[in-house]
C-alpha cells in the first residue's frame, strides 16, 4: 500500500457504513452512533452501578436499548477513559 497521492484520491464516504459485519463491507470505519438522551441516561446509570459489564449484562442491556453489544462495549470503554482523564 502506498499513501494517498494526487493520482489516487481517497475514497469518498458514502451514505451507508461499510462495516466488516456487513456483506460486501470493505472493513471501513463505522459511522458515529448518535445516542438518544434516554439511551445516554440508561448507559450512565448502568455505569454508576458498575464500570465493567460482563457478557450477560452487555447482551441484556443491548437488547433492552436496541443497540449492538459492540456499541455498548465501546461506550463503556470510552466512558472509563473519560473518567480516567477527569481524575
* Spatial separation of the C-alpha atoms in residues 61 and 42, rounded to whole Å: 9
Note the pLDDT tens digit of each residue in 4-28: 444 544 444 333 343 444 445 567 8
Judge contact between 1 and 10, C-beta under 8 A: no
Q: In 3-state terms, what secondary structure has residue 76?
A: helix
**pTM assigned to the model:** 0.66
Domain boundaries, given as residue ranges, for the chain: 37-86
Q: Which CATH class is domain 37-86?
A: mainly alpha
Note the pLDDT tens digit of each residue in 43-75: 999 999 999 999 999 999 999 999 999 999 999
* Spatial separation of the C-alpha atoms in residues 4 and 60, rounded to whole Å: 43
Amino acid at each position: 500500500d502506498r499513501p494517498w497521492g494526487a493520482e489516487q484520491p481517497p475514497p469518498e464516504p458514502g451514505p451507508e457504513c461499510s462495516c466488516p459485519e456487513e456483506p460486501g463491507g470493505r472493513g471501513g470505519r463505522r459511522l458515529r452512533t448518535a445516542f438518544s438522551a434516554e439511551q445516554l441516561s440508561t448507559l450512565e446509570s448502568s455505569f454508576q452501578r458498575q464500570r465493567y459489564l460482563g457478557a450477560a449484562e452487555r447482551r441484556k442491556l443491548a437488547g433492552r436499548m436496541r443497540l449492538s453489544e459492540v456499541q455498548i462495549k465501546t461506550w463503556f470503554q470510552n466512558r472509563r477513559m473519560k473518567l480516567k482523564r477527569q481524575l
